[in-house]
């Protein structure tokens, strides 16, 4: 089934631990994104990548890092998790690059629920 696969679905993590959220897409989309979704707030962009080998910072990048070694994979790493990073994390992709004009429709993964204690 074409789309985006995220792993893990859910994780409880002790503060200070390192965590990598995985994201793989099979649509050959150029751009990929990581968002966080918190109750009462809109989706907030953490990092994005328009092509393999390039990444950019979004609205809330601090405490997170990403890499884009190939078209399909876009992992998000929390080097030292803190409780404020408790959230639901969504990976997304689009055919058009981030910042492009027009109807840049995002396809989202099912999300990874992360709890940092």
Partner 1 sequence: GQNIDQPTEMTATEGAIVQINCTYQTSGFNGLFWYQQHAGEAPTFLSYNVLDGLEEKGRFSSFLSRSKGYSYLLLKELQMKDSASYLCAFMDSNYQLIWGAGTKLIIKP
Q: Which is nearer to partner 1, 40 or 62 (CB)?
A: 40
- Pair type for strands 10-13 and 112-116: parallel
Query: Minimum Å distance from CB 108 to partner 1?
Result: 4
Q: What's the 3-state SS for the chain?
A: CCCEEEECCEEEECCCCCEEEEEEECCCCCEEEEEEECCCCCCEEEEEECCCCCCEECCCCCCEEECCCCCCECCEEECCCCHHHCEEEEEEEECCCCCCCCCCCCEECCCEEEEEC
* Contact status: 2 vs partner 1 (CB under 8 A): no
Interacting residues with partner 1 between 11 and 50 (CB under 8 A)? 40-45
Chosen residue from 71, 111, 112, 116 binding partner 1 by CB under 8 A? 111
- Binding of partner 1 at residue 90 (CB under 8 A)? yes
Residue 14 or residue 40: which is nearer to partner 1 going by CB? 40
Residue choice 80, 110, 115, 117 for contact with partner 1 (CB under 8 A): 110
Site of interaction with partner 1 (CB under 8 A): 4, 40-45, 90, 98-111
């Amino acid at each position: 089934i074409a789309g985006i696969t995220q792993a893990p679905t859910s994780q409880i993590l002790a503060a200070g631990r390192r965590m990598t959220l995985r994201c793989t897409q099979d649509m050959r989309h150029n751009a990929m994104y990581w968002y966080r979704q918190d109750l009462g707030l809109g989706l907030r962009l953490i990092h994005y990548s328009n092509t393999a080998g390039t990444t950019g910072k979004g609205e809330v990048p601090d405490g997170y890092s990403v890499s884009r070694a190939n078209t399909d994979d876009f992992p998000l790493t929390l080097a030292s998790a803190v409780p404020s990073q408790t959230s639901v994390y969504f990976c997304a992709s689009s055919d058009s690059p981030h910042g492009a004009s027009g109807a840049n429709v995002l396809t989202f993964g099912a999300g990874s629920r992360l709890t940092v204690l």
